[in-house]
Every structure is written in C-alpha cells, then in structure tokens.
C-alpha cells in the first residue's frame, strides 16, 4: 500500500509527469484515470464508459481487452522473457521479421526492430546517412520533411518533425532538415486548378528543395502516406508516385513513415500499398502490436543492408529493448487477428460508411473540412465556412482546450481536439468499429459542436 488514492488521479497530479500535457491543467484538475478497455470502449475509475475514438493514440487496431494478445504475452514471458538482438536472435523476432518482409511491398526485406516510432524514424535517418557514407557519397546526409508533420521526439526524429511547437524548446536540433509544403488542399496557397495539379506542384517542391540544397547533400525524404498532424491530410492522386520519381532522379531515399498509417489504419498493411508507391524504407510501430506491448520497426530495402554485410562492417546502432521477445510475440498474434478477421478488407468496405456519418456534420456552421482515409479522419473547425476564416489563438484556447475536448469526453467520446495548427478534431477508432459506433461518434460530435458554436 502506498497510501496514494490512485483512482482519483491525485497521485498522477503529484508524481506522474504526463506527456505533452499542460502542467497547469494537472494542477487544477485531477487526471482522468482509465482503468479498463473492452472492444472499442474504455472505462474510467468511476466506471464511466467512453468510445475510444482515437484507438488510444492511433494504436489499438484490434480493440481493447483481447485475451489472445494477453495470453501471447504471458506465454512468451514464461518461455523467454528477454534476450537482446545484439549478436543473438530469438524465435519471435526471427518469425516477425520474416512475416513483415512478406507483408511489406517490393524488396523491403530487412527489418530492424525498435521499441517505438521515434526510434524507427531515428534509425531510418541513421541508416540513410551510413548507407551513403558506405557507398562513397558521404555528403548525402540531409533530410526533407513536410510542414506541420510529426515524426517523433528524440533529437533526430524531432529534427525531422515539422511542428514548431514541439521543437522550439530544444533548438538547436540536428542539422540539417529542410521543410517542404504538405498536401493540405483546403488550406492551399497555390492556385492549382484541381487536386491533381496541386499534388504535382507539392511534389515538385521536393525537387526544388533538393536542387536548392544540392542533390549531393540530401539523403532522405520523410513522408507519411496520410499526414497526421495538421489534420489527416491525404495525398492527392499522383503525388506519391511523383515523389518516388523525384527521389529516383536525385538518388534520395524515400521513407514512408507509417507509424500511424500501417496495419490496417488505411485498409492495407501499409499505406504505401493503399496509394501504390514503393518506398525505400518503412518506419512503423503503434498498430504493429495494437499497443499490447511496445514495438517499432524500420523495414528497409535489401540493397540498403548490403554495404553492412561486407567483411567486418556493421550498422553501429541498436536498442536494449528493440524487438523484445514479448512484444514480438504479441505482434505475431496481433497480425494473426488482423489477418484472421480480415480487418483490412473490413476497413476498406467501411471507410465510406464512416466518412458518410462524419460528412453529415457538414450542415453545422463550424465544420469547414472533413478529410482522411480508412479509419482515420480529421474535422477542421472554422469561424466562417465561406471564407474559411480560422480561429485566433485565444479563440482556439477557449473553444478547443477549455470546451470541446472536455465536452466530448464528458459526453462519452475520447478523441483528439488538436489546436497545434488549424483546429482539428481527429478520429481514428479501432478497426473493429461498426456502423453503430460511427453513429455514436456523429451524434456526440453534433451535440458538442452545435453547443460550441452557440457559445462563440
Ligand atoms: N512518426 C509518426 C508518423 C507518428 O505519428 C509518431 C507518433 O505519434 C511517431 C513517429 C513517434 O512514435 P513514438 O511516439 O512511438 O515514438
């Protein structure tokens, strides 16, 4: 007994340093303590039920409370709880690496395990740099990423992240990352006549950045198939193919950061398959285990591993817990569920149903744009639908932070109200959700957003 009342959240206020959380909020109100999950629902310490509209944090693809995954973890922990991948291997990591190689597109047959997404992104950049060094182009070291993108928080991954609010306190970051426009068509500054032309223009900005920096200095372009931060920004038709062509032209590696987009979120194992383009590296995490254990991976094209196989060479990189046996065993069981329950086909068949429920909200004056794909959507809130005028920082503060987030949760929907750029409500429910859950999401959003508009 510690003497702390954990269920009331006061111990969290005193001792638990929550992530990306305002400490002033912690000081004035106890944290909501979530104690249990079941299917698409989570329950707090008082027994209240909430629909998990964000799969935790874009993680819990197969839903909460899956005993198969708990049992897979227990079985592996009983057999071999831990062993590193430093010079030794263990069966779950070997089997999972082979399975991911089969699932990943093209020659992406080399799997480097990490414990999460930041480490996977970090690893991809390090591999790109080391690969070009080994192959006689040591100046190729820079990365290109898109405005408002999120790629993680470790210093390398944070440098690639394009969100000023996440970076400012930690400058100077790792040199050198160049930022290019994302593909937010609703907020475009370019006068493209249609989505296709806009996508070609956005891709060409990457070519321009490479030219500006000097092709001899650029190692890799990091892109999420659907960009999360900034509000579920899908790629225009033809965009990713064009990015691929540009990377080929300049001998730059294309890294698909699929930490969110992988494992069914977009109705395929990987977003690269959804949009039919071939990356050189995929970074993934989150849905790989549905969050029942922590695991990430960098899946690289075979040719990128070749230079490290010669003589006494090696890729001087690793993590104690990368490819942890328990996490790898959980990932295998999670892939069994995704495959057995045909969740990719299920998401593809239900994307438009989900979208349809959300698009009913277009009759509300505060709803400006609804965008996304798979089970991954963002709703952009506006002050004026016609002019697309957005909210001031102060209005966002009152509207999103003080009102909408809390009201949605109080009404039984856990999702994200993001005010780091344009105000967005993000939805990424577990892939097992059906029409009744989409209807529940729509009803709660309708009530809360209507009320928010009246308060404005
Ligand atoms: N990359 C993307 C696209 C992400 O969305 C995230 C996390 O949300 C990361 C990287 C970092 O992953 P992690 O938080 O597991 O380090």
Please write the tens of the pLDDT for every residue from 355-366. 999 999 999 999
241/347 same-domain check: no
Q: Could you count the other beta carbons within 10 Å of the beta carbon of residue 53? A: 25
- Listed in sequence order, the DSSP H helices in 161-194 are 164-167
Angle between helical axes of 435-455 and 343-359 (0-180°, round to 10): 30
286/416 same-domain check: no
CA neighbor of 424 nearest in space, from 453, 402, 391: 391
pLDDT at site 190: 81
The CATH number of the domain where 381 resides is what?
3.90.1150.10
218/325 same-domain check: yes
333/374 same-domain check: no
Q: Which of 299, 318, 340 delimits the end of a domain?
A: 340
pLDDT at site 8: 64
125/243 same-domain check: yes
Pocket residue to mutate for ligand 1, from 54, 121, 289, 319, most atoms within 8 A of Cβ: 121
Pocket of ligand 1 (CB under 6 A): 116-118, 121, 150-152, 224, 228, 257, 259-260, 285
347/319 same-domain check: no
What is the domain count for the chain?
2
Q: Could you count the other beta carbons within 10 Å of the beta carbon of residue 310? A: 9
CA of 116 from ligand 1 middle (Å) equals 7
Q: Rounded distance, CA 110 to CA 404, Å?
A: 44
Low-confidence ranges of the chain (pLDDT < 70): 1-11, 25-30
304/380 same-domain check: no
CA of 321 from ligand 1 middle (Å) equals 17
Alpha carbon distances (Å) from 432 to 37, 61, 253, 279, 342: 14, 7, 35, 28, 10
CA of 121 from ligand 1 middle (Å) equals 8
pLDDT at site 1: 43
Q: Which of 314, 340, 366 delimits the end of a domain?
A: 340
Q: Could you count the other beta carbons within 10 Å of the beta carbon of residue 123? A: 26
Pocket residue to mutate for ligand 1, from 159, 260, 261, 281, most atoms within 8 A of Cβ: 260
CA of 296 from ligand 1 middle (Å) equals 10
187/281 same-domain check: yes
152/271 same-domain check: yes
Please write the tens of the pLDDT for every residue from 228-260. 999 999 999 999 999 999 999 999 999 999 999
pTM value is 0.97
**Full domain range(s) for residue 408:** 32-62+342-455
> Which tokens hold the place of 110?
């080399």
The CATH number of the domain where 201 resides is what?
3.40.640.10
pLDDT at site 72: 98
pLDDT at site 191: 83
Q: Strands across the sheet with 367-373, in order?
A: 367-373, 376-381, 424-427, 416-418
247/314 same-domain check: yes
267/374 same-domain check: no
Q: Which of 305, 340, 375 delimits the end of a domain?
A: 340
């Amino acid at each position: 007994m510690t003497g702390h009342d954990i269920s009331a959240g006061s111990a969290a206020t005193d001792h638990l340093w929550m992530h990306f959380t305002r400490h002033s909020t912690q000081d004035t109100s106890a944290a909501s303590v979530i104690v249990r999950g079941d299917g698409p629902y989570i329950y707090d310490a008082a027994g209240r039920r909430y629909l998990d509209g964000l799969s935790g944090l874009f993680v819990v693809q197969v839903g909460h409370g899956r005993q198969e995954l708990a049992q897979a973890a227990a079985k592996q922990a009983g057999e071999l709880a831990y062993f590193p991948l430093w010079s030794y291997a263990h069966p779950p990591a070997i089997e999972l690496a082979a399975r991911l190689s089969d699932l990943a597109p093209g020659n992406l047959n080399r799997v480097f395990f990490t414990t999460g997404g930041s480490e996977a992104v970090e690893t991809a950049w390090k591999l790109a740099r080391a690969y070009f060094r080994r192959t006689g182009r040591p100046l190729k070291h820079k990365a290109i990423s898109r405005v408002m993108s999120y790629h993680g928080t470790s210093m390398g991954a944070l440098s690639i992240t394009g969100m000023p609010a996440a970076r400012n306190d930690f400058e100077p970051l790792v040199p050198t990352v160049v930022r290019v426009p994302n593909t937010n068509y609703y907020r475009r500054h370019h006068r493209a006549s249609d989505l296709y032309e806009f996508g070609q223009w956005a891709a060409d900005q990457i070519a321009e950045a490479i030219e500006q920096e000097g092709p001899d200095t650029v190692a890799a372009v990091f892109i999420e198939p659907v960009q999360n931060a900034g509000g579920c920004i899908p790629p225009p038709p033809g965009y990713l193919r064009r990015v691929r062509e540009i990377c080929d032209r300049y001998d730059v590696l294309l890294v698909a950061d699929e930490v969110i987009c992988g494992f069914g979120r977009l109705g395929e194992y990987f977003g690269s398959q959804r949009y039919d383009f071939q990356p050189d590296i995929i970074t993934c995490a989150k849905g790989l285990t549905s969050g029942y254990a922590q695991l990430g991976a960098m899946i690289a094209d075979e040719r990128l591993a070749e230079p490290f196989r010669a003589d006494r060479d090696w890729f001087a990189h690793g993590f104690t817990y990368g490819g942890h046996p328990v996490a790898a065993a959980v990932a295998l069981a999670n892939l069994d569920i995704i495959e057995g329950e045909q969740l990719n086909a299920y998401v593809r068949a239900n994307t438009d149903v989900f979208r349809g429920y959300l698009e009913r909200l277009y009759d509300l004056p505060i709803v400006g744009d609804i965008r996304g794909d798979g089970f991954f959507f963002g709703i952009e809130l506006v002050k004026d639908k016609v002019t697309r005028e957005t909210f001031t920082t102060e209005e966002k503060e009152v509207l999103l932070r003080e009102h909408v987030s809390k009201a949605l949760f109080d009404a039984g929907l856990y999702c994200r109200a993001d005010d780091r750029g344009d105000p967005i409500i993000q939805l990424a429910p577990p892939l097992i959700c059906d029409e009744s859950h989409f209807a529940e999401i729509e009803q709660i959003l309708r009530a809360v957003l209507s009320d928010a508009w009246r308060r404005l």
